[in-house]
Amino acid sequence: MKSVDQETTLRQYLSYLPTNILADIIWNYRNQKICDLDLVKFFITAKLSKWDSYREMADGLAANPELQQLLGINSFSPSQFSRRLRDLNTYHLADLFHRIADTYWRFQKNRSGPLERVGMLSIIDGTHIKVPVQTMKWAAISKDSAGVKMHVKVAVANANSIYPEKVMMSTGNISDIEMVNHLVTDNDTLYVMDRGYGHKTKMGGWLERGIDFVVRVQYKFTFETLISYAPQHPQVLRNEKVSMKTHKKPLRYIEFVDDKGSVYHLMTSRLDLTEQEVLDVYKSRWQVELFFKWIKQHVKFDHILSFSPTGIWNQLYISLITYALAEIMHVAEASDKTTWSFFRKIRTFLFRSIHSLREWLLRVKKPSRGRQKITVRTEKKIDYGGFAVAVRPLSKEHFESKKSQRNTKS
């Protein structure tokens, strides 16, 4: 058996993945080459290795003995990858993703939240993913485009860690408000939402369940002012204790203007927060936008390989699992690197020992030499390649000069 230091970074990374029915022998009785859980492990490895097509996946597996040993197979055809991705049970894959959250919270001890006195935040939002036109029979959102949607609850445990704690997938024609109660489940956090979720019936239900929230509402949202306070913050226009009339518990209404002159209307159940804290909580909502941008850029979340509903859902869940395991490892290793910097190094050291990754994480950076004297730079002569090429050098200034001369003549 390998020691911890001899284990590859990939093995350590995948060790945070829990098991469920996808690893069950009876469940996999028809799968002769590889069980469903090991297949998920392979697709995660493909995400980390940037294998963006079934052909690249097949070639990557054939060329990697470490991966073959880990999975117990030495070859798999592109068509087999396509079929098995489509045939994975989406419900059990979603169950696997949500089980990973228990692992995250086991390692994440710092739950102070990003803001002092406020506590942990849970930010809820949705994002559209464009899918191939071959899916128009079931995923059409207009006459010439198709899309699906991911609804997510991102937990902000502290200023350095965000985690997608709960996710629901849907077709693109299902609104955010229809899915929100699948995500608002716990009452030990402060929920932050944009105006797509500002619905009186939903907010009344959250108050009944003892759930705290900061929600942006539309300007035409109606309420009764109970007490009006003089604003203390220069950007705040109105600060009032209000009633929605549909529920007896009062809320706080904050109206503020941002640096660009846009007016925002916020409702919160947290009457104890200052104006500055309410504004800071709402501004933290951008963490979820950064999360969407991160997974689309770095794990190719929106690079769709399948045309079937289950194939698309499964690919999206595998992308989320890839991010989730990286964040768990980030927390477990107590790294002070950013999530992207840490993830990039996981990719670099993927098939090298975990010890080499840890050495890099602990290395001491050379101290800065401070501001250096700016030296006068002389223009370096350009080497155009000698007699091997034909070059008539022209810079953009040449064309700008000609354009200026034409304008002068006219």
Domains defined along the chain, listed by start? 9-92+305-362 (no CATH), 112-291 (3.90.350.10)
Phi-psi region of 261 (alpha: psi -120 to 50; beta: other; left: phi over 0): left
Helices (H), 239-338: 275-283, 286-298, 309-332
Closest alpha carbon to 41 in 25, 21, 17: 17
Q: Do residues 49 and 347 lie in contact, with contact meaning Cβ atoms separated by under 8 Å?
A: yes
> Residue 350 and residue 355: Cα distance in Å, rounded?
11
φ, ψ for residue 20, nearest 5 deg: -150, -155
What pLDDT is recorded for position 201? 93
What pLDDT is recorded for position 375? 62
Closest alpha carbon to 120 in 86, 154, 87, 96: 154
> Residue 38 and residue 19: Cα distance in Å, rounded?
10
What pLDDT is recorded for position 5? 43
The string of DSSP codes covering 157-219 is: EETTEEEEEEEEEEETTS-HHHHGGGT---SSSEEEE-GGG--HHHHHHHHHTT-EEEEE--T
Supply angle C-alpha 257, 262, 265, rounded to 5: 60
Please state whether beta strands 224-229 and 236-243 pair in parallel, antiparallel, or not at all (unpaired): antiparallel
How crowded is residue 388: how many other Cβ atoms within 10 Å of its Cβ? 6
What pLDDT is recorded for position 373? 63
Q: Burial-class residue 369 by CB neighbours within 10 Å (0-12, 13-18, 19+).
A: exposed
What pLDDT is recorded for position 370? 63
What pLDDT is recorded for position 367? 64
Per-residue pLDDT of the chain (410 residues; tens, 9 = 90+): 444 345 899 999 999 999 999 999 899 888 878 999 999 999 999 999 999 999 999 999 999 998 999 988 888 999 999 999 999 999 999 999 999 999 999 999 999 999 989 999 999 999 999 998 899 999 999 988 999 999 999 999 998 899 999 999 999 999 999 999 999 998 899 999 998 899 999 999 999 999 999 999 999 999 999 999 999 999 999 999 999 988 889 999 999 999 999 999 999 999 999 999 999 999 999 999 999 998 988 888 778 888 999 999 999 999 999 999 999 999 999 998 888 899 999 999 999 999 999 998 887 666 666 666 666 667 778 887 777 888 888 888 888 888 788 877 76
